[in-house]
Structure 1
Amino acid sequence: MSTASVPSPRAGVRTRRFRRLARTGFAVNGLIHLLIGGLALRVAVSDETSREADASGAIGRMADSPVGLVVVWAALVGLVALGLWQLSLGGRSSAPGLLARLGRRIVESGKGFASLTLAGTTLVFALGGSTSSSATIRRINTELLTSTVGVVILVIVGGIVLGSGIGFVAIGIRRGFRKLVRIPEGPTGTAVLILGATGYITKGLALGLAGGIFVVAALTGDARQATGLDGAVRFLDVPPYGTIALTLVSAGLVMYGLFLVARAKLAKL
């Protein structure tokens, strides 16, 4: 009798360890969103911040802590593991129907590349360097706007980001995140549902705004505000209601971060 399809105990141990590292990646992503929410709130209340309200600003804040180097290297390991795990899910989707499988593979692979991109930013800080996501995005956008093809690419990118935002909002409204985590009983489960719904909707609105700004930048030829999440945050910070709107978005990003921290324990892997 063939035993080729039976995993060895050692392989099972490696898989469990890899899953634990992937869970760490969720916790790291949650911490990053908590910091982004804090940075956005600082923009709302003081109209300035020394860090961008995006992933690079959050990771820079982590690196500035007393144990920053240790934290950043641990974050790097977790994000790489999470990215590889998400890519593996993209390669073995079992959704019914060809289009459903293809869609699931694209979504999971996109998540994996996003996590690995975040890991790349983390690596820069881990090696003692620094980077600015908004400055990089602005520089790329400025180059793209010099040609018709570049404008088309920028519109497509903006459309993808906008579509991702709509997807996040839909997940939050429908509570589609419930299939990603084990919802506990009682008040804890209620808290997870509230954090997930509010967090997904807020993250979706922020992404949608960022994507819309990309499209507007492409159509108007002005790349100054098309800087990703940080650009969306600063776009909201306008009178008379900017402080209120940005405070609500900040709170929502914090709630999304808390949901991701909870997902580190509750995720169905």
Structure 2
Amino acid sequence: MALRGRGRARRAADSTAMAVAARAGFAARGLIYGLVGFIALQIAFGTDDGGGRQADRGGALSELAGRPFGAALLWGVGVAFAGMALWRLSEALFGGAGPDGTKPSKRVAAAARFVFYAFVSFTVLSYAVGNTGSGSGSSDRHTDDVTAKVLMWPGGQWIVGAAGVAVVGAGLWIALRALARKFRKHLRTDAMSSRARKVTDVLGMVGGTARGVVFAAAGVFALVAAVRHQPGKAKGLDDTLRSFADTPAGPWLLTLIALGLIAFGAFSWCYARWRKV
């Protein structure tokens, strides 16, 4: 009985540790998206220090590094993303919360997210120890380089085109799920006040839609690059965001998208508080 009790206590402690890791990861995600949205907002208003700032993860890390206690903030974000990666790995191995958490499709998705967040954590921590080329490189330059390499492969145009279609589909899926408030099933709504539920709904719908639109736009640019066999037509996050200012709506569309990304950052903080883990 004593051994059984100690086993339960150990499992409870492990579960608590994973919950803390997941919530820290969502908080870090919210911080990065909030900073990207803030930089994009400055670009829309023409106050981005002469255009030298990047509205992407690298730009967000540079913004953090320039703040008081910047090194500590970078370490905190890197460790938080490592915690998120471990939580996703635990979901892949043992299943996630909810009745469908053990489905093979959910485990595969969790494994993919583990790889993504492990990579993000590595780049942030590399940047924190001084390897600025790792975490703060332009997403636009990386996108151009990767697209150019793939287009040189046999069937490269088809690969880039398929990737573009997949990203467009992912963006539309993200936006539609946000508008349908599918995120609610992952929230502990019983622990939320009526006002908290309403605020989270608005942030999730607005933020998720903006995030989905950005993904879909990046996918369209990848498709154009494939069709024209011009790697420069593919755009990273920064150039994708800046392209919204080149539409007939001008900087106002970029302003709306930037505010949407800030809303998604705030929504991620709500997830950090009320997500089922």
> Does the residue aligned with 1:224 lie in a helix, a strand or coil?
helix
Partner of residue 124, structure 1: 126
- C-alpha RMSD of the superposition: 2.4
Residues 162 and 109 of structure 1: is their aligned pair in 2 closer, same or farther, counting only changes over 3 Å?
A: farther
Normalised by the length of structure 2, the TM-score is 0.88
Note the 1:134-145 alignment, pairs <5 A.
134-145=140-151
Matches of 1:73 and 1:214 in 2, distance apart?
A: 33
Residue 196 of structure 1 pairs with residue 207 of structure 2 = no
Deviation at 1:156, TM superposition (A): 2.5
Instruction: Give the ranges of 4+ consecutive aligned residues of structure 1 lying more than 6 Å apart after TM superposition.
Output: 3-6, 94-97
Deviation at 1:86, TM superposition (A): 1.4
Matches of 1:75 and 1:107 in 2, distance apart?
A: 23
Matches of 1:6 and 1:67 in 2, distance apart?
A: 40
Partner of residue 12, structure 2: 12
Deviation at 1:225, TM superposition (A): 4.0
Please tell me whether the aligned partners of residues 63 and 125 of structure 1 are also in contact (alpha carbons under 8 angstroms).
Answer: no
Q: Which amino acid aligns with 1:164?
A: A
Deviation at 1:143, TM superposition (A): 1.4
Partner of residue 266, structure 2: 258
Residue 64 of structure 1 pairs with residue 72 of structure 2 = no
> Does the residue aligned with 2:26 lie in a helix, a strand or coil?
helix
Matches of 1:165 and 1:112 in 2, distance apart?
A: 20
Deviation at 1:236, TM superposition (A): 1.2
Deviation at 1:38, TM superposition (A): 0.8
Matches of 1:188 and 1:147 in 2, distance apart?
A: 51
> Does the residue aligned with 1:216 lie in a helix, a strand or coil?
helix
Deviation at 1:142, TM superposition (A): 1.2
Residues 5 and 105 of structure 1: is their aligned pair in 2 closer, same or farther, counting only changes over 3 Å?
A: farther
Please tell me whether the aligned partners of residues 43 and 49 of structure 1 are also in contact (alpha carbons under 8 angstroms).
Answer: yes
Structure 2: any 5+ residue segments left out of the alignment?
Answer: none
Matches of 1:118 and 1:171 in 2, distance apart?
A: 24
Partner of residue 30, structure 2: 30
Question: Alignment partner for residue 57 of structure 2, among 55, 58, 72?
Answer: 55
Please tell me whether the aligned partners of residues 54 and 229 of structure 1 are also in contact (alpha carbons under 8 angstroms).
Answer: yes
Q: Which amino acid aligns with 2:54?
A: E
Q: Which amino acid aligns with 2:230?
A: D
Matches of 1:26 and 1:96 in 2, distance apart?
A: 22
Q: Which amino acid aligns with 1:220?
A: R
Matches of 1:186 and 1:261 in 2, distance apart?
A: 17
Moved more, 76-85 or 219-228: 219-228
Partner of residue 77, structure 2: 75
Residue 40 of structure 1 pairs with residue 40 of structure 2 = yes
| Count of residues in Structure 1 that have an aligned counterpart in Structure 2 | 267
Structure 1: any 5+ residue segments left out of the alignment?
Answer: none
Please tell me whether the aligned partners of residues 21 and 87 of structure 2 are also in contact (alpha carbons under 8 angstroms).
Answer: no
Please tell me whether the aligned partners of residues 55 and 241 of structure 2 are also in contact (alpha carbons under 8 angstroms).
Answer: yes
Deviation at 1:83, TM superposition (A): 1.4
Note the 1:107-118 alignment, pairs <5 A.
107-118=109-120
Partner of residue 92, structure 1: 94
Note the 1:174-185 alignment, pairs <5 A.
174-183=180-189, 184-185=192-193
Please tell me whether the aligned partners of residues 36 and 58 of structure 1 are also in contact (alpha carbons under 8 angstroms).
Answer: yes
